[in-house]
Amino acid sequence: MTVNQLSIFIENKSGTLVKVLKTLKDEGIQLIASTIADTAEYGICRIICSSPAKAYEVLKAAGVAVSLCDVFAIELDDEPGRAADAIELFSREGISIAYLYSFLLGGKGVLIFRTDNAEKATKVILDNKLKYFEEKDLSKLA
Amino acid sequence: MIWNETKECMSRENRRILQGERLHKIVDYAYHNVPFYRNKLQQMDIKPDDIRSIDDIVKLPFTTKQDIRDNYPFGLMAAPQSEIIRIHASSGTTGNPTIVGYTRKDIGIWSGCMARCLSAYGITRGDIFSVAYGYGLFTGGLGVHYGVEALGASVLPASTGSTEKHIRLLRDLGVTGIACTPSYALHLAETMGKLGITKDDIKLRVGVFGAEPWTENMRKEIEEKLGIKAYNLYGLSEIMGPCVSYECEEQNGSHVNEDHFFPEIISPDTLEPLPYGESGELVFTTLTKEGMPLLRYRTRDLCTLYDEPCSCGRTSVKMGRLLGRSDDMLIIRGINVFPSQVESVILSMPECAPHYLLVVDRENNLDKLTVQVEMRQEFFASGFDTFEPIIRLEKEIAAKLKSVLSISAKVEVKQPGTLARSEGKSKFVIDNRKIQ
């Protein structure tokens, strides 16, 4: 139901993102999705990739401020309105979304997100029989 | 006008005799009342009676800020607590502030010396004078305040902050004199502009500026924008507070109240005294202070002393403009800030690496301090994926800095390995203000 996401603290200055991406490239790690949230001075880059555990180790060894965490990954049909329907299920239970991003993969939509209550969110996913990804599914895709 | 003509205009020879008598007395007093000085003098095999004239001052040991810190809080006080009627505190180089204590006689001398300064600036009983230095532990506010009262002008204890209200009072009360930091004077002028108040709407005539270094260009700008005469005032809390030296109508060098505070210039490297006219580190000996007498206190301020006669009639030695510091102290919004104070805060934070950078800017004539710190890699690695912990860390560091420095600083957290590692302390500071 959850997948591993890399969260990387980067300053808003040229060259910092390249360093991170090159480190992953050199290890043959493939990005599946990535997003950057930013403030005036710094950002957090969130990455879903083919082998997160390995990526975490190499980035750490390169001195990068990186953490590995579990985020929900659910699959949606590639049709208008499916994301709204899905998020409403969580909202109805009073669960807040901390952040969310989405991408298309093989004709399906994928929503990656983190909530303020993982336990309740898990129950929503199971109760509503939402399709979800596990870590092993991702490595197959990449 | 000259407030105390006897003392300010006495002949050089008579002053040196007076200084010699006072030096002997103060050394004797410190020897018998401050164990720190007794031990130091005994180690150097000096007895109070060896000090017979002001020329003997070179035999005496120096006192440093470190000595004050080592004797925190009351170790250097010569008078018992029951005789101390005022205590001030300023920044120390690390966590401990520098504590100074004053007896009733000290406060009287301070007020009298301050009245001499104000009188030289042309302030009389007919003036309303606004004191816009911070009131409180800092000596600026209360120091000038007591001088204005001693002189007999009407004091308006405006303190700092609430600039708009202050401007309104300046205009409505017809305030004619003001004391504040030079950068605050420019801020005041700018705020007046925003409020649509011109220099013709106010009656300010005299501005008294100190607590931070300023340039001739700033003087011209302040005089032009506020329509006043701008004078320098120098002092430091260890020696007394504002009143140590002051400009006269010549606006060219500051007369030292040297019957109370004896100045010397030394080479900061060899510690040898330098003749008048040469620049070096300024050293003061308090000749009359009862609360906390200091012998040959190294101010770390760099400047030059001149003994050419002055057209104003005062015979005292004059100090040139401050040329800088022989240590790494910064003056930000009139407050002394040592990089080591910031360092002590950073080192106390397990989330941060022991690297930092202080950036000082002047925006809209107000100093702004930014402290860049580097997070440790481990801090982020622990299950971190939002900005919240970083913002919390910035706020926590900012609060600690505020309590240690007494001024607000903006904190910027940087990623690991990005701040320069340097050996020299000066590399930890970027001062973008052009004030020297």
- pLDDT tens, position by position, B391-428: 999 999 999 999 888 889 999 999 888 887 755 444 68
In Å, the largest CA–CA distance within chain A is: 45
Q: Is B390 on the interface with A (CB under 8 A)?
A: yes
- Which residue in chain A has the smallest CA separation from B351? A65
Q: How far is CA B156 from the centre of its chain?
A: 22
Structure-derived torsion over alpha carbons of residues B347, B348, B350, B353, reported in degrees to the nearest 10:
-20
Q: What percent of chain B has pLDDT over 90?
A: 75
pLDDT class for B213, splitting at 50, 70, 90?
Answer: confident
Strand-pair partners of B362: B367
Distance between CA atoms of B355 and B424, rounded to whole angstroms? 12
- Which residue in chain B has the smallest CA separation from A8? B385
Average pLDDT over residues B44-73: 96
> Does the structure's ipTM exceed the value 0.90?
no
Average pLDDT over residues B335-351: 88
Flag whether pLDDT at B130 surpasses 80.
yes
Q: Is B311 on the interface with A (CB under 8 A)?
A: no
- Which residue in chain A has the smallest CA separation from B380? A65
Task: Kindly report the nearest CA distance between residue A106 and chain B, in angstroms.
Answer: 28
pLDDT for residue B426: 44
Flag whether pLDDT at B188 surpasses 70.
yes
Average pLDDT over residues B243-250: 97
Q: Which of B407, B429, B432, B405 is nearest to B356 (CA)?
A: B429
Flag whether pLDDT at B333 surpasses 90.
no
Strand-pair partners of B425: none
Q: Show the CA angle centred on residue B419, arms to residues B414 and B423, nearest 5°.
A: 150
pLDDT for residue A124: 96
A-B C-beta contacts closer than 8 Å? 55
Distance between CA atoms of B59 and B50, rounded to whole angstroms? 9
Interface test with A, best of B385, B412, B413 (most A CBs within 10 A): B385
Flag whether pLDDT at B140 surpasses 70.
yes
List CB contacts (< 8 A) between A64 and chain B: 377, 415-416
Strand-pair partners of A66: A8
Distance between CA atoms of A88 and B409, rounded to whole angstroms? 43
What are the two backbone dihedrals, phi and then psi, of residue A28, each rounded to the nearest 5 degrees?
70, 30
Task: Kindly report the nearest CA distance between residue A10 and chain B, in angstroms.
Answer: 6
Six token digits for residue B256 = 């030292």
How do beta strands A131-132 and A97-105 pair?
Answer: unpaired
- Alpha helices by DSSP H, listed for B260-359, are 339-347
pLDDT for residue A139: 64
Contacts for B327 with CB less than 8 Å, ≥ 6 apart: B300, B338
Average pLDDT over residues B267-271: 94
Does the distance separating the beta carbons of B377 and A60 come in below 8 Å?
yes
Residues 234-253 of chain B whose Cβ lies under 8 A from any Cβ of chain A: none
pLDDT for residue B44: 97
Q: How many CA atoms lie within 13 A of B21 on its CB side?
A: 6
Interface test with B, best of A3, A9, A34, A41 (most B CBs within 10 A): A9
Distance between CA atoms of B420 and B407, rounded to whole angstroms? 25
Average pLDDT over residues A114-118: 93
How do beta strands A2-11 and A42-49 pair?
Answer: antiparallel
pLDDT in tens, B345-371: 998 999 998 888 999 999 878 899 999
Flag whether pLDDT at A26 surpasses 70.
yes
Of A11, A41, A67, the CB nearest to B385: A67
Q: Show the CA angle centred on residue B56, arms to residues B53 and B60, nearest 5°.
A: 135
Task: Count CB atoms within 10 A of the CB of residue A22.
Answer: 11
Q: Show the CA angle centred on residue B241, arms to residues B235 and B244, nearest 5°.
A: 40
Q: Is A70 on the interface with B (CB under 8 A)?
A: no
List CB contacts (< 8 A) between B390 and chain A: 9, 42
Does the distance separating the beta carbons of A114 and B377 come in below 8 Å?
no
3-state secondary structure of B131: strand
Distance between CA atoms of A34 and A25, rounded to whole angstroms? 14
Strand-pair partners of B414: B374
Flag whether pLDDT at B334 surpasses 90.
no
Distance between CA atoms of B215 and B303, rounded to whole angstroms? 14
How do beta strands B335-337 and B330-332 pair?
Answer: antiparallel
Q: Is B418 on the interface with A (CB under 8 A)?
A: yes
First to last CA, chain B: 31
Residues 83-142 of chain A whose Cβ lies under 8 A from any Cβ of chain B: 98-99, 114
Q: Could you tell me if A128 and A77 are in contact, meaning their C-beta atoms sit under 8 angstroms apart?
A: no
Task: Kindly report the nearest CA distance between residue B403 and chain A, in angstroms.
Answer: 25
pLDDT class for A13, splitting at 50, 70, 90?
Answer: confident
Of A5, A67, A114, the CB nearest to B381: A67
Side chain identity, residue A1: M
Does the distance separating the beta carbons of A66 and B381 come in below 8 Å?
yes
pLDDT for residue B422: 59
Side chain identity, residue B361: D
List CB contacts (< 8 A) between B414 and chain A: 11, 42
Q: Return the exposure string of B77-96: e unless at least 16 CB atoms fall within 10 Å of the residue's CB, then b.
A: bbbeeebbebbbbbbbbeee
Q: How far is CA B39 from the centre of its chain?
A: 29
Six token digits for residue B230 = 């701008």
Average pLDDT over residues A39-45: 88
Does the distance separating the beta carbons of A42 and B385 come in below 8 Å?
no
Average pLDDT over residues A68-87: 92
Residue B397: its H or E element: helix B388-405
Flag whether pLDDT at A91 surpasses 60.
yes
pLDDT for residue A58: 95
Flag whether pLDDT at A21 surpasses 70.
yes
pLDDT for residue B424: 47
pLDDT for residue B423: 54
pLDDT class for A39, splitting at 50, 70, 90?
Answer: confident
Does the distance separating the beta carbons of A46 and B383 come in below 8 Å?
no
Flag whether pLDDT at B272 surpasses 90.
yes
What are the two backbone dihedrals, phi and then psi, of residue A137, each rounded to the nearest 5 degrees?
-65, -40
First to last CA, chain A: 18
Q: Return the exposure string of A107-125: e unless at least 16 CB atoms fall within 10 Å of the residue's CB, then b.
A: eebbbbbbbeeeeebeebb
pLDDT in tens, B86-116: 999 987 666 678 999 999 999 999 999 999 9
Which is higher by pLDDT, B49 or B328?
Answer: B49
pLDDT for residue B383: 67
3-state secondary structure of B242: strand
Q: Which of A70, A16, A67, A60 is nearest to B380 (CA)?
A: A67
pLDDT class for B372, splitting at 50, 70, 90?
Answer: very high
Residue B73 preceded by cis peptide, ω within 30: yes
Distance between CA atoms of A138 and B307, rounded to whole angstroms? 83
Distance between CA atoms of B329 and B347, rounded to whole angstroms? 19
- Which residue bears the tokens 């000749």? B287
List CB contacts (< 8 A) between B387 and chain A: 37, 39, 44
Q: How many residues are there in chain A?
A: 142
Provide the 8-state DSSP code for B63: B
Contacts for B235 with CB less than 8 Å, ≥ 6 apart: B139, B143, B210, B241, B242, B243, B244, B245
Distance between CA atoms of B113 and B260, rounded to whole angstroms? 9
Flag whether pLDDT at B327 surpasses 90.
no
Of the segments A95-104, B179-188, B250-259, which one has the largest average pLDDT value? B250-259
